[in-house]
Structure 1
């Protein structure tokens, strides 16, 4: 996606009426373009490779290839040309959220969200930010922390520590990101501007070679910077 170009969306859901509804909603939005539709996970993977959309809106339960595996093939570590995936599902289950994020999804919303929230979710993911449904975020962070054993108990300032490249302020920002705070909330906590927070976030992602905020959350928990007791 380039400046001024529309956000191209691939809609993936096994229910025709749902796909049509999403496509109609997105087509009506300024700056959106529906690049294509897919009714099963394998078709979604093939369509993403062919169409190169900016965002894939993906259901979890899909025939032929489930949405989690399709997401892994499109956005996971081994994906040859990763795309951004926003998972939208009826299942408010920690396991689905956890597996979707591990598979490489940049966002997660429930299907009962408002149309405006879905539209905003696509824009958020397209912009390179992560998105978690507010109804599951806090609980997920706690469960996620419990599943991840810190890889390195060393101090953050130790040379071999994964966060060694970060300044103390950037570590503070990363910890707040991992706690589920938005840029505005981080700005309020640290008494700085939202633009300054955005700059910190960009630096953190660049220094740690992370794709988005979801990966930042995973890393923060993995190295023990945040735990479910924080």
Structure 2
């Protein structure tokens, strides 16, 4: 049986998801709103970077079995990952923390510079809180634990591609408990700090941040507020600087926790 193919960074053939799914009698979800990213005729493009060959095959198969996601390239090292990021147009990068020649964090930083509109999901066999927090600090919007019963790679890809974030449920619960414990001992200090940070943002910056939180792009925010896209991006940079964050997801999360709007 033959399938239409694409090629990865090492010149190896990749079966397209529609052909793979059709050949194996699999279909995508019948209920998938047409306003969401990831339609059969325009799937979310994914690159996968992992040096564990077995895990790479497992994740690749999951992505190819869902016609809403399109695997456009695979790599197994930081070096190959850099080339993949530069050579391919993609929407989401799935990257392991520990690769045979370095750490995946550096690839997220490169992706944010080279493909600023793309999203990154980090995954690892480890469940270290420090690893998770660092992943989000460098710009990831998802974190999955390998071999978790609750891990779903296509779902994670679709979640972040549609403006959300994704984290393995039990890991999320542990982080929430950790946050609650910390918040319980410093609530008064957080309230005063939040009010000071709120005062740092101008009324226009709060409007821009509120629109970012609602999922609007810079172009859409410019139209809604009747200002130029250059002005919107300038406001966003100021928000990042004032709140000491690096990404839209971090800014929205910070503002939501501190009730800045």
Please give the range of the TM-score, normalised by the shorter of the 2 chains: 0.5 to 0.7
Task: Say whether residues 1:217 and 2:253 are aligned partners.
Answer: yes
Q: Do the aligned partners of residues 68 and 2 (structure 1) sit closer, same or farther apart at CA in structure 2, a change above 3 Å counting?
A: same
Contact 2:69 2:154 in 1 (8 A): no
Mapped to 1, the partners of 2:130 and 2:151 lie a distance apart of 26
Q: Do the aligned partners of residues 215 and 141 (structure 1) sit closer, same or farther apart at CA in structure 2, a change above 3 Å counting?
A: farther
Contact 2:38 2:158 in 1 (8 A): no
- Residue 100 of structure 2 is matched in structure 1 by 63
* Equivalent residues, number: 192
Task: Say whether residues 1:51 and 2:85 are aligned partners.
Answer: no
Task: Say whether residues 1:102 and 2:137 are aligned partners.
Answer: yes
Task: Provide structure 1 residue ranges, at least 5 long, that are not aligned to the other structure.
Answer: 175-197
- Calculate the aligned-residue CA RMSD, in Å: 3.8
Structure 1 residues 156-205: Cα deviation after superposition (integer angstroms, max 9, x where no partner): 663x33677437xx99xx8xxxxxxxxxxxxxxxxxxxxxxx99623699
SS in 1 for 2:120: strand
- Residue 128 of structure 2 is matched in structure 1 by 93
Task: Say whether residues 1:74 and 2:108 are aligned partners.
Answer: no
Mapped to 1, the partners of 2:61 and 2:153 lie a distance apart of 13
- Residue 36 of structure 1 is matched in structure 2 by 73
Of the three residues 127, 133, 142, the one matched with 2:168 is: 133
Pick which of 110-119 and 32-41 moved more.
Answer: 110-119
Q: Do the aligned partners of residues 8 and 131 (structure 1) sit closer, same or farther apart at CA in structure 2, a change above 3 Å counting?
A: same
- Residue 201 of structure 1 is matched in structure 2 by 214
TM-score, normalised with respect to structure 1: 0.67
Task: Provide structure 2 residue ranges, at least 5 long, that are not aligned to the other structure.
Answer: 1-36, 183-188, 222-231, 241-246
Mapped to 1, the partners of 2:151 and 2:174 lie a distance apart of 24
- Residue 227 of structure 2 is matched in structure 1 by none
Mapped to 2, the partners of 1:7 and 1:34 lie a distance apart of 8
Mapped to 2, the partners of 1:73 and 1:13 lie a distance apart of 16
- Residue 189 of structure 1 is matched in structure 2 by none
Pick which of 106-115 and 6-15 moved more.
Answer: 106-115
SS in 2 for 1:137: helix
Mapped to 2, the partners of 1:163 and 1:27 lie a distance apart of 46
SS in 1 for 2:98: coil
Within a 5 Å distance, the mapping from 1:146-161 to structure 2 comes to 154-155=195-196, 158=199, 160-161=200-201
Mapped to 1, the partners of 2:147 and 2:203 lie a distance apart of 38
SS in 2 for 1:202: coil
Q: Do the aligned partners of residues 199 and 65 (structure 1) sit closer, same or farther apart at CA in structure 2, a change above 3 Å counting?
A: closer
Contact 2:213 2:252 in 1 (8 A): no
